[in-house]
Each structure stands twice: as structure tokens, then as C-alpha cells.
Chains A and B, each alone.
Chain A
């Protein structure tokens, strides 16, 4: 009975904003409730991109509309959401996901149903390599690339005895394995004296820090993040684990993980991350200002990822001049996109984007951890050779 009452104003609104055109729907799936700390900024990022693109007249003369679903943090619900988006909402393509297992599930769904899927956040190497498929592309630099960016810097430290600490699941294990293998290649005399795998989100920080102290390493490679990182850093400081030792740490420079540590942020760690406060490129400045104006908050790394994902989709739609899946796949292969981090390209060989990351050293500024002496490393430089990629990735 009341449906027309609601629909009326809605139609008028749509008509005003979109020149009467039906929007191009993008299906977005993410673990908003399970991982809110990282996905709230991400959501703000894509909302900003959609707003900007539609204000500039949309794509192919039609506005973009993101239809977002919560996957409850598990692959089963994510696949149901994907089916719903494709079947009921009629979306042109899928994007999103944060957890690696959810990302892999949606990627396999994309392959089965022949729908394009742009994996935005998940890091597992398998999405584009071992389980790669024709319909799946990935934006963020994967675990391998992130580790590879740190290894040359780690080798320069010339430390012999290394200890590793990582969350006990695929991301942590594969980051540690990549780091060990690559460092050994650059620095054959290196020794790995301790290895701690902590349950994700439930680290026993005291015993872990103590075990690392006892191993007397010269340097530490850390893959912990989030709550685990905060607990580990506090225990490590108190037990003087970091005193006189070099620490190389994955993702720690991302504001999502560094800021909650406040004035206890570690100093002198070599990290990958996102120094939003100092990137002076035009693309980033424009993004930063627009973001700040809209939300009165600074962007996190997730914001950049969400923003760049929608930018990439818009670019692919423009290049394909169509919402047809096969044409979108062709458009995505080799697609150049200008993101807040600079120009990136979706590689045709493995569908991995060449988005990179900033590498720098952590420092305290006032009561806040920041990155210093950072530089942007282009992801294209830290990928295995085409030969190796072909070996890893099944043929389509």
C-alpha cells in the first residue's frame, strides 16, 4: 500500500541526479561487521569515488550505483550475497572482500558464473596465482609483493640472526616463508633462530615476547597487525625486546594499525604503509582534500583501496564501452588507472595490479606514530618473472 509513497520521491531524486538514466550497478561484498576497523574507511573511500564520478556525469552516460552487502565474515554467506547481487540486482560486476578465504570463494564463484570480480583488499597470493582465473582481478599488492619490498632493505641491515613472528594463518605463514626464502637468497649466511606463530587476534603476547628475547636475535621480522600488534608492541617495549634490535615489519605503517598505538608506536621500525600526511603528488593531494572535505577525517589505507577500486571499475567500463563481462575482462587486461598512489596497471598475465606501497621508518611525532624517510615502491618492480608467474598460474 505504502510502496508508491516511498518510490515517488526516490524516482524524482534518481531522475535529477542521473539524467533519467538507469544506473550501472556494481555489486560490493565485504565483512563490514566482522572487520569494522578496516572497512569503515574503505567504505568511505568508495562512496567518495562514486560521488565524484556521478557528479562528473557518470560512466557511459549513466550514473554508477554500488549495491553493498555484508558477508558476515564467512565465505558461504559471501557466495550467497554474490548470487543475490548477480541474480536479483543484476549487477554488472562484483568487487570487495577483505579476508583471503572470502576473496578466494568469490573469485571461484566469478569463474564458475562468468562474472567479473575485482578483489579489492585480500592479500593472498593465490587469488591471482595458484587459483587465478580469467574473471578475477586484484587491486592491492599481494603478500609476496609486500614482503619482497622489505627484503632488500632487510638485507642492507646485514644482520645475521633473525627471529620471525606472525599470525598463524595463510597470510602470516606465506609472508614469513617468502621473507625467509628471499632473504636467504640475498644473504646466504643468514640464520633464522626463532619462529613464533600466534593465533590470529589471540596472541599470548607476554610468553611470545619472552621467547623472542631468549632467542637473542639481531633482528626481527614481524607480520602481526591490529590487536595482536598492539599487545606485542607493549610487551616487547616492557621486556626491552626491541632495544638494540632492528625490526622489519609488514603493514605496520598503515594508519589503521599504527594510530591505535598512540604514543607507544614503535620507533625505528622498517615498515610498509601509507603516510597520508606527506604524499605530495597531485593525484594524492586532490584525493586527500576531497576526502577531508567530505568526512572531516583523514583517509586510511582502506580509503585509498576503496577509492581506487571504484576508479578502476569506472576506467574499465569506459574502455570497454559496455557492461558486457567478456568485454570488461578484455578491458581490464592491461588497463591503466591513475590512483591516489599514482599510475597503476592491471597486468594481463596474472590480473594483478601494479599498485605499490610506501616503505619507510617509523617515528614518533608528538603523541602519534608516523612514517619517515618513506618512498613509494612501484609494485611492478616486485613481482616474480613472467616465467615464474606462468608456472604458478593455471592456464585459463
Chain B
């Protein structure tokens, strides 16, 4: 038991080291820093490479660890100065898009520099092997890790509570606009916080050298856990992050140590729960305490960007839309010459529908979702199970999908009406991850990690032109519906609830009900997209519920413009076509895609449509 406890403490320390830097950055700059996991990965790679050159002496080893962290810290400062600093005027989520582009770039950089094979670093000199505790061996290095966690916590506490810099950081965490109003220039503060956060991320990576090989999948593996810890602890609360690390590592260790549980005559290996343990913890904590364990309710950021009022389309844009519609209608005529055109257009239309459903939630309703794949996946699985399990005819299965997704959204919205902002976004992610893990494990129903196959459309819809027609009809219908909703009283009411919740309530609006309607409508459309996807591919796997799917939608919405009706359509179209064509052109397509996205974010900081509208005054949406 003692050994399990100590092992859990060592895991908690490791978790805390990754998360504390993210919490710092999150709290001060409000940047959802997707690249934090990449910085961790680069820290570990750099430490392995440097210790390879400097030898395995204690000086060489610890020198490598520190140097790796310092180099990545400088890199972090550069990222902040060159990229993020240009985006603070944009809406909250835009830096997220930039950091996501950086993830793609860094992954290919690591591949180019260090190759594809895992690199196992040396063990810490003098700390190899085990000490004997309670008659059993326990890794010596883990004792060091157990000590380092609280040590870093203590140092950070001193830095934040006993220095002038720390005072400013705490002030910025609470209310960064007020800090600016009091005459503190946030620029230098932001850069230093980002550098320190990056340094801590890389240090966390480098300190794992004796535990795990440097590999290219670390970035995404780490970022999820780190976010969960930060949110459970409360954004910006370092102590909270520490408590959350203890909680999550403890629960995981318990699942692993408990072994196999016998429930109602069925053996269930509890270790399988480690797949989602952290997300279950996060969901429970957030429903119970909407600002995390030790977090405070956020002061509203007085965003410099407000959505411009909706206006009628200028005639030029109208004609362009008519031409586009005509082109889409005539596309099947080209099928015999360019058979791939329809295949790609089907994927593009589905991606557009998904992005548009997300934008309805994130734009007018202001409800951020990082887990919109939940509804896409529920639609896909709903359609597949309707067809296979219930033996419904295909058109009915297609209709069932949005209903399943909408029902789930209604339940979700009812459960977390108290949660808002980034906490809500993380709760949506937890919800999606829990669904993902169920689909991943429930072999007899969802096909487990392999998914379900043989979900093909009815014979009269099976040809590509016919299926394209169906997809186009559904998507066009959804587009008209969304257009109508944006301009209808509901759309205006949602905007009012988003921009001035108190005043909206004062004139008698029921915000919870309004927002629930937005959830249900958005989920139904996402579910429809999922069902169309399932029948287009013939196969679905848990990825349809996964983080990648959610991120694709998020990227499309932000790329096109969070606050424009046409934005998600443009963003999704561009993103899908770019990904499809780049993947065929070059081996390093991921870095190129990341570079292109970075460029787009910097040129169009409000999204493509949003920025164009601002620039030319005459709004295309």
C-alpha cells in the first residue's frame, strides 16, 4: 500500500509539473495554449539530445535538463512576441487557432530533427535503481519527483506572492482589463508569463527522461491531461492545479491497484477505467463546482471585439452565392470526367454542415464547445445502430441521428446550466471523451475500437451523384434554416443573452431556456452531419467522437470567422480542401498546413470573412 501511495505521489508530481505552466498562461493571458503539449515534447527531445552529447555525468545530465527547459522557454517567449501578441485584440479563442497551427508545425519539426523512432534517454546518474521500502524495491528517481512537485509549487508561490511581478500576474489573472486601466503595460508581463510557462512545460518533459522515451505522440497525449488538471484545479490557481494532480493521479492509481472488479457476475478490469478517469473526475468536479476546486468566478473580460449587427448582403455577394449554388447543383454533370470531384465535395459539405452547427452555438449563443464531436459521433453511431441494430430503412436511420444527438444535447444543457466560459468548453470536452470511451469499450454494441462497418446508403442513393444530391439537399436545407435562425428573434435574443446577460434577464428573457434551444438545434445539425458522414464512408470508428473531430470543427469556425454567418462555410471548405490537397503534395504536409493556417490567422485575425467584412466595411454576411 505504501508503495502504491508513493507511486501515485510521483505521478501527481509529474502531472503537476506539466499543468502548472499551462495554468499560469491560461490564467493571465486567457490563451488556450494548445501548443503546451508540444513544448513538453520538445523539452523531452531536447533533453535526450543534449544529454547524448554532454555525457551521462551528473553535470551533463542535469545541465541537459535545465538547458532544454531554458531553450524551450526562450522559444515560448518568441512565440508570444511573434504570434500571440498580434492576436490579443481578436476574440478570446483566436490564439487557440494559432497554437493549434504551431502543434502541427512542431510535430513535423521534431520528426525532421530527431526521426520517427522513439528515443529512450539515459537514467539520472546516481538515481538509477531502487531503494528498499517496506521490503520492496521503489525507484529512487520517483523519490526525487515526489520532492520536486511541492518544491516547484513552493517556488511559484513565493514568486507570485512575494515579488512585484507576482503581484501583477495575480492581478492580471483576476482582471486583466483593470490592470491595464491602472497603467500596467501587459505586453512585457504576457511575454514573461509565457516564457515561464513554456520553461515549466519543457522542464516537466525533461524530468520525465528516465520515465518515458521521447516520441512524436507526446504532444496530444499530454495536452489533454494538462488541461484537465488546470480546469479541475481552477484556472490560474497553481495550488488548485497541485490538488487536482493529487486527486487525478490518486484515482488512477486506485483504479490500477484495485484490479478486477466483479459486478453482477461480470468481471470488469477497473484498469480499463484509466482511459477516461481524468475526464470523469473533471465532469463531476465542474458540475459540482463550476469554477474548479480552487478557482474563482472569472471577471468578465470586456472584449474589445463585439459582433457587428447583422445586415443584408450586398448585391455582389448575393450574386456570388447564387453562382456558387448553381455550380454545386451542376457539379454532378462533371462526374464522368472528374469522378473525384463529388467525393471531395461530399466531404466538404459535411465538414461545412458540422462547422456551421458549431458556429450557431459559439457565435450567437456564445457557448464555446471543445467537444462538439459528441453530437457528430452520436449522429453517426445513431444512424449506424439504427440501420444495423434496429434494422431501420436507411432514410429513417438518417432521420433518427439528429434526434439522438438533440436528446443528448438537451440532457447535457440541463446538467451544466451553471457552468460557463472556458469551464463549459472543457465540460463539453469531458462529455465527448466519456462518450468516446464508451464507444471505444462497448464491443458488443459500438464495435469497440474497430467501430462499425457496412453502413452503406440504400441502393437508390448508393451512386456518388445520388448521394451527393442527398448531402447537398440536407446541407442546403440546414444553411437556409441557420440563415433564418440567425435573423430570427431567437438569434437576436441569443446575442442579447451573450452580450448583456443581466439586462436580457431584466427584460424577462429566460436565458437557460434560450441556450438550451441553441444546444438542441446545434446538436441536431451536427448529428445530421455525422449521419451523412457514416453513410458516405460506410464505416464509423470512435474517432467520430474524438478530439480530432472537435478540433476540425473549431478550426473551421475560427478560420472562417466566429461572428459571421458565412464564416464556418468558408472556413470548413478551405480547411478540408487544403488538407486534402496538401496531404498529396508533400511528405511534410502537416507543417505546411500549420504554416498556412498561421499565416491566415495573422492576416485575418477575425477569421477570413470577419476580417474581410471589417476591412471593407461592406459586410458579406
- A residues sitting closer than 8 Å to B (CB atoms) are 32-33, 36-37, 40, 69-70, 72, 74-76, 79-80, 83-84, 87-88, 100-101, 104-105, 107-109, 111-112, 124, 126, 131, 168-170, 173, 194-199, 201-202, 204-208, 210-211, 213-215, 226-227, 230-231, 234-235, 238-240, 256, 259-262, 264
Given known contacts A206-B139, A227-B217, A260-B119, is B343 in contact with A84 (CB within 8 Å)?
A: yes
CB-based contact B10/A206 at 8 Å: yes
CB-based contact B271/A198 at 8 Å: yes
Chain A residues, CB < 8 A from B536 = 79
Choose one: B211, B217, B440, B541; the contact of A105 (CB below 8 Å): B541
Chain B residues, CB < 8 A from A210 = 3-4, 7, 257
Chain B residues, CB < 8 A from A239 = 130, 136-139
Chain B residues, CB < 8 A from A230 = 118, 120, 212-213
CA distance A205 to B274 in the complex (A): 12
CA distance A199 to B279 in the complex (A): 14
Most chain A CB within 10 A, of B117, B129, B142, is at B117
CB-based contact B343/A204 at 8 Å: no
CA distance A75 to B542 in the complex (A): 10
Chain A residues, CB < 8 A from B537 = 75-76, 79-80, 105, 109
**Closest CB-CB distance, A3 to chain B, in whole Å?**
15
Known: A210-B4, A234-B210. 5 other contacts (CB 8 A): A168-B441, A195-B259, A196-B256, A231-B213, A238-B129
Chain B residues, CB < 8 A from A264 = 120
CA distance A376 to B344 in the complex (A): 45
CA distance A104 to B441 in the complex (A): 17
**Closest CB-CB distance, B134 to chain A, in whole Å?**
12
CB-based contact B449/A206 at 8 Å: no
Given known contacts A108-B453, A124-B450, A194-B259, is B541 in contact with A207 (CB within 8 Å)?
A: no
CA distance A169 to B540 in the complex (A): 16
CB-based contact A131/B448 at 8 Å: no
Choose one: A74, A80, A107, A111; the contact of B541 (CB below 8 Å): A74
CB-based contact B221/A75 at 8 Å: no
**Closest CB-CB distance, A333 to chain B, in whole Å?**
22
Chain B residues, CB < 8 A from A199 = 274-275
B269 CB within 8 Å of chain A: yes
Chain A residues, CB < 8 A from B440 = 169
CB-based contact B118/A227 at 8 Å: yes
Across the two chains, which residue of chain B brings its CB closest to A39?
Answer: B116
Given known contacts A75-B541, A201-B217, is B448 in contact with A170 (CB within 8 Å)?
A: yes
CA distance A40 to B110 in the complex (A): 15
28 A–B contacts, CB within 8 A, in A order: A33-B589, A37-B117, A37-B118, A69-B584, A72-B579, A75-B543, A76-B543, A79-B539, A80-B344, A87-B343, A100-B449, A101-B450, A101-B542, A108-B539, A168-B271, A169-B449, A170-B448, A196-B256, A207-B4, A207-B11, A215-B259, A227-B118, A230-B212, A235-B139, A238-B130, A239-B137, A239-B138, A264-B120
CB-based contact B256/A207 at 8 Å: yes
Chain A residues, CB < 8 A from B10 = 206
Interface residues in B, total, Cβ within 8 A:
74
Closest 5 CB pairs of A and B: A36-B116, A87-B339, A105-B539, A169-B449, A108-B453
Choose one: B3, B338, B339, B450; the contact of A100 (CB below 8 Å): B450
Across the two chains, which residue of chain B brings its CB closest to A172?
Answer: B449
CB-based contact B340/A84 at 8 Å: yes
CA distance A240 to B7 in the complex (A): 15
Chain B residues, CB < 8 A from A104 = 450-451, 453, 539
Given known contacts A170-B448, A239-B130, is B340 in contact with A83 (CB within 8 Å)?
A: yes
CA distance A259 to B544 in the complex (A): 34
Across the two chains, which residue of chain A brings its CB closest to B454?
Answer: A108
Chain B residues, CB < 8 A from A206 = 7, 10-11, 139, 142, 211
**Closest CB-CB distance, B567 to chain A, in whole Å?**
23
Choose one: A33, A79, A214; the contact of B257 (CB below 8 Å): A214
CA distance A210 to B339 in the complex (A): 57
B111 CB within 8 Å of chain A: yes
CB-based contact A211/B256 at 8 Å: yes
Across the two chains, which residue of chain A brings its CB closest to B346?
Answer: A80
CA distance A170 to B451 in the complex (A): 10
B58 CB within 8 Å of chain A: no
Given known contacts A37-B117, A105-B538, is B453 in contact with A168 (CB within 8 Å)?
A: no
Chain B residues, CB < 8 A from A83 = 340, 343
Chain B residues, CB < 8 A from A259 = 117
Contact with A along B537-554 (1 / 0, CB 8 A): 111111110001000000
CA distance A87 to B342 in the complex (A): 10
CB-based contact A74/B11 at 8 Å: no
CA distance A69 to B583 in the complex (A): 7
CA distance A100 to B542 in the complex (A): 12
CA distance A83 to B453 in the complex (A): 16
B513 CB within 8 Å of chain A: no
Choose one: B252, B347, B449; the contact of A204 (CB below 8 Å): B252
Choose one: B130, B257, B453, B590; the contact of A240 (CB below 8 Å): B130
CA distance A84 to B448 in the complex (A): 28
Across the two chains, which residue of chain B brings its CB closest to A80?
Answer: B347
Chain A residues, CB < 8 A from B117 = 37, 256, 259-260
Across the two chains, which residue of chain B brings its CB closest to A70?
Answer: B583
Chain A residues, CB < 8 A from B544 = 76
CB-based contact B217/A168 at 8 Å: no
Chain A residues, CB < 8 A from B541 = 74-75, 101, 105
B136-156 at interface with A (beta carbon < 8 Å): 136-139, 142
CA distance A74 to B543 in the complex (A): 7
B580 CB within 8 Å of chain A: yes
Chain A residues, CB < 8 A from B548 = 74
CA distance A75 to B440 in the complex (A): 14
B260 CB within 8 Å of chain A: yes
**Closest CB-CB distance, A75 to chain B, in whole Å?**
5
B456 CB within 8 Å of chain A: yes
**Closest CB-CB distance, A191 to chain B, in whole Å?**
13
B558-592 at interface with A (beta carbon < 8 Å): 579-580, 583-584, 587, 589-590
B349 CB within 8 Å of chain A: no
**Closest CB-CB distance, B37 to chain A, in whole Å?**
12
CA distance A214 to B118 in the complex (A): 30
Given known contacts A80-B343, A213-B136, is B211 in contact with A231 (CB within 8 Å)?
A: yes
Chain A residues, CB < 8 A from B533 = 76
**Closest CB-CB distance, A350 to chain B, in whole Å?**
17
Choose one: B340, B441, B449; the contact of A101 (CB below 8 Å): B449
CB-based contact A170/B269 at 8 Å: no
CA distance A156 to B450 in the complex (A): 34
**Closest CB-CB distance, B104 to chain A, in whole Å?**
10
**Closest CB-CB distance, B545 to chain A, in whole Å?**
12
Most chain A CB within 10 A, of B111, B139, B210, is at B139
**Closest CB-CB distance, A30 to chain B, in whole Å?**
12
Most chain A CB within 10 A, of B123, B212, B213, B449, is at B449
Given known contacts A84-B343, A197-B269, A210-B4, is B450 in contact with A204 (CB within 8 Å)?
A: no
Choose one: A70, A126, A238, A261; the contact of B139 (CB below 8 Å): A238
**Closest CB-CB distance, B42 to chain A, in whole Å?**
17
Across the two chains, which residue of chain B brings its CB closest to A257?
Answer: B118
B508-543 at interface with A (beta carbon < 8 Å): 533, 536-543
B394 CB within 8 Å of chain A: no
CB-based contact B4/A204 at 8 Å: no
B318 CB within 8 Å of chain A: no
CB-based contact B450/A227 at 8 Å: no
B446-497 at interface with A (beta carbon < 8 Å): 448-451, 453-454, 456
CB-based contact B118/A260 at 8 Å: yes
Chain A residues, CB < 8 A from B129 = 238
Chain B residues, CB < 8 A from A202 = 221
Chain B residues, CB < 8 A from A169 = 440, 448-449
**Closest CB-CB distance, A50 to chain B, in whole Å?**
17
B272 CB within 8 Å of chain A: yes
CA distance A105 to B453 in the complex (A): 7
CA distance A230 to B252 in the complex (A): 20
**Closest CB-CB distance, B173 to chain A, in whole Å?**
30
